[in-house]
Amino acid sequence: MLDLFFLHYLCCSRMVKGAMQLWLRAIITLLILIITEGHPVDITYLQSAVAKGAVCLDGSPPAYHFDKGFGAGVNNWFIQLEGGAWCNNATTCLARTKTRLGSSKLMVKTVSFSGILSNKAKFNPDFYNWNRIRIRYCDGSSFTGDVGAVDPKTKVFYRGARIFSAVMDDFLAQGMKNAQNAILAGCSAGSLAAILHCDRFKGLLPPGAKVKCLSDAGFFINAKTVSGASHIEQFYSEVVNTHGSAKNLPQSCTSRLNPGLCFFPQNVAQQIQTPLFLVNAAYDSWQIKNILAPGVADPRGTWRDCKLDILKCSSTQLETMQGYRLEFLKALNSLGPSSTRGYYINSCYAHCQTGTQETWLRDDSPRLAGTTIAKAVGDWYYDRKIFKEIDCPYPCDKTCKNRNFESDARPLDTDNTDD
């Protein structure tokens, strides 16, 4: 709190003027929101997983943050898989070992739970009293890798699938074996993991449990770049090959397609038996930056300002983005009809919207068909109402803030992709 008072002093001091004053006010506002809307949850290191070879890229133990359920929610479980893109070869995976995305030694000890992880009914009415867990991401493969041998040159471990199994065994032992309700969810690369592991997760729980999966900003599409290259398709193929992921991807897809193509939900989701809900921006800011206009496809940086702020996009760039939206909707529609699948596709320039209070549930949160994301997801989970809505094209939705929320996102780990 002393830091807040200090910032307030600086903000109001005559020594600070103009843009700096506005910046400090914004920081103060953000800190206040974090304090009032979120709550801190400490980290847990799963040391027992090391003996099973279930380790981060650097060999450190996996970790998670666990806020126990209470009241009527003690037998309900919400598990969120953290995101953070992927590494596609020995060099990029080695680089991640020097960050929190490759080593639990470098993770912060406490994180703030808000949005769908909030423990307050006001901010999270349907899930506030559940067991709420955030599994940290340190394997670079959306929890799909499993290479037995350690890379002799880099000393890097590719064991994402083992991490998933180890933490699930731990939760089952802590009471999840008695679950009455459960959701496997994620953000970005973690959201893709939630899709890929969805049916496997359901199989771990009691037959009578109500189990569903939630994907937040995980519907990555197989689209070409502005230069016409199949950049993301090649990248995913390299991820799968490097991590030995093929055997841990849904067989309903790998039996038909090259395993690298099974990282695209458009090729997987139709065969998933467990109910699935997709929350995604049609103009997903991460996808625009890394699939449509990555640095390798934009060497002169023509798209740089546009990618940072959609208001700075030229009419030509907006037209290209409108085309990307249509391609995204085509991929979504290719899944076909489903009585259990729901979706909330807004037209915000955003990435990951369930874990941030501002976009999950607040008076000023985005709305689609007059409905917040929290209301749509809650209604779908409890079978109150199936929600399948697609927003009108940008810029018609005036509820969007387009502030580019990407707390769990990072660029692709390639040498040619901008940061």
Catalytic residues: 188, 284, 351
Q: For residue 207, is the peptide bond before it cis, meaning its omega torsion is within 30 degrees of 0?
A: no
Position 177, amino acid = K
Contact 69, 131 (CB under 8 A): yes
Contacts of 63 (CB under 8 A, 6+ apart): 43, 44, 45, 46, 104, 107, 135, 136, 138
| Residue 24 DSSP class | H
C-alpha distances in angstroms, 198 versus 61, 202, 270?
23, 6, 12
C-alpha distances in angstroms, 274 versus 34, 342, 386, 388?
34, 12, 15, 17
Nearest to 196 by CA among 135, 142, 240: 142
Report the distance separating Cα 62 and Cα 49, nearest Å: 7
Contact 410, 192 (CB under 8 A): no
| Residue 292 DSSP class | I
